[in-house]
Structures are given as structure tokens and as C-alpha cells.
Chain A
């Protein structure tokens, strides 16, 4: 357990509302990026993000003693997004992404970020989800398979198909 998680757990056991600040500061950006990648809309991501924090408050007793708080919060975020799709009666495969959800780091100005973002956005949610977790969360296939609840081989193949499709799209753009 990391030092941050230890602090959050202590705050949770004291039932201190300050826990929310700690969670936000430690994992807020990470979770927001993930939600934004899944729902493909800044506005919807903000709604989901706020709802997630309400859910965290209501389920805070379940967070107590969790070894891997980050993974637990990520799963909660994913569930929140699925709930959001159910509420909106939207199928997860028909999401139109019209926003860029990655930005270049300062030392990578030369990258075709817009094209990359568009290529990532064009992937089905199942592949996009896995690519995001693998690249930006540095999760292993095993961890992702636990997180999503599918086999490790399926995760690996979705990841490869996703990258392959992105590559094709990038080549199309270049040509």
C-alpha cells in the first residue's frame, strides 16, 4: 500500500470528509482522463465524474482496507460509465467521439496528436478502454483482465487489434 493510500485509509477510518480531497488529489486526474476516454465527451465526463464521487461517498465503507485503492476506484469509474450509458439508453458501441482526449507532452510537440486522438477515438469502446489502461495506467494484461472481468488472452487480442486498427487509420491519414 502506498503512502497516499495509507493516508486515505486513515482518513476513511476516521470518517473524515477530508478523504474526498485526498482521493481527488491522488487519483482525480487519472480517473477523469479514463472517464473522458470512455464517454468521449467532456460534458458527459464531468457529469460521470461528479456522480462517481457521490458514489464513493455512499460506498465509502467498502473502500476501507482495500489494498489496491487505485484499481478499486478505476473499477468504480468504469461501472459509473456503464451506468451512464444505461441511463442514457446509449449502446457503448455507437458512441461518437468528437473531442480530443489526449494532449502532447511538452517534449513531444512534433507528434500528430490530433490524428492519434482521432484514431483512438474511432476504436470501439472495448479496445479503447484496454489501450488506455495499458498505455496510461501502465496496467498489465493480467490486471486489466481482472479489472474488466474478461480473460487475459481476450485483453491481449483486443489490445493488438486496437493498435493495428489505429496504425491503419494513421497510414490512411498520411497517404
Chain B
């Protein structure tokens, strides 16, 4: 007490006692749990599961999954049509006099030089990607997951 070691030791003793009690109680629970077993798979589930899986096994595995091919094609289409659209826009502003030689509005120029607008090509390819994703369960779930609040 005089040199101040006793309170420290008694604290340590107390701490170790508390820890030992806690550990023993955890051990009790652990031991009780280990004397039990998780349930086994029901017998009727075996055939149902394996039959379904065997059917799936017969399906050939594609070298590259179709969804990756589609996604790659859509991305490339998006990139190229976007680039083409950009270059067409730039070209329009370089050579766009009307028949009287006076400058016209951007919208008129577009119709004069290219006829109809280029069908909003980048947006069209986005639609392709969107359509693909909406038909693909996994991607759809990914979107759901990304947008869900409780993820």
C-alpha cells in the first residue's frame, strides 16, 4: 500500500478474475454448442438438388459468357458512335454556310448538312446497354443492390 503496488496488483487480480469468469462462461456456452449439431440436409433434397444440377451440367459452358460479349459490343458501339457524332458536329461548324452564304443557327446547319440528325447514336447505344441489363437478372440485381438503401 505504501509503495503503491498493492492497488495495482489487486486491480490486476480483479481483472484476471473477471476475465477468467467471463472466459469460463463463454467456454460453457461454447461447450454446450459443440455438443449439438447443425441439421443435416433432408434426404429428399439430395435427388432434387442433384437432378437439377445434372441438367445444368449438360449445358455447354461458352468460352466467353454471352453477357460479357454483349456488354463489350455495346461499349465499343457507344465509344465509336460517340466519336463519330463528335466529329460530325465539328465538321458541321467548319463548313456550314446556307445557300445565301449567311451563317445560320446550329440546328438549321445540322439539317442542311446531314439531313436528319444522327439518330442520337450515343443515346441509342445506351438504350441497348440498358435493355440488355434489364433482361439480365444478375445485372438487374446489381442495379437493385446499388440503389437499395439497406445494402
Contacts and interface: CB of A to CB of B under 8 A. Distances in A.
A150 B21 CA distance: 28
Contacts of A37: 38
**Interface class of chain A by DSSP:** helix
A148 B26 CA distance: 23
Contact of A33 (B28, B40, B144, B145): B40
B39 interface: yes
B49 A89 contact: no
A166 B29 contact: yes
B116 to A, nearest CB: 43
Given A86-B145, A86-B151, A105-B37, 9 more contacts: A17-B57, A33-B37, A36-B39, A46-B45, A60-B61, A102-B39, A105-B35, A136-B33, A166-B29
Interface string A84-118: 00110101000000000111110110011100110
B110 to A, nearest CB: 45
Given A61-B61, A102-B33, A116-B32, A32 B150 contact: no
Given A28-B41, A36-B38, A108-B36, A163 B50 contact: no
A163 B36 contact: no
Given A53-B50, A170-B29, A58 B38 contact: no
A136 B29 contact: no
16 contacts: A29-B41, A36-B38, A37-B38, A46-B42, A46-B45, A53-B52, A89-B144, A101-B38, A103-B39, A104-B35, A105-B36, A113-B36, A116-B32, A163-B25, A163-B30, A167-B28
Contacts of A153: none
A166 B32 CA distance: 11
Nearest to B56: A57
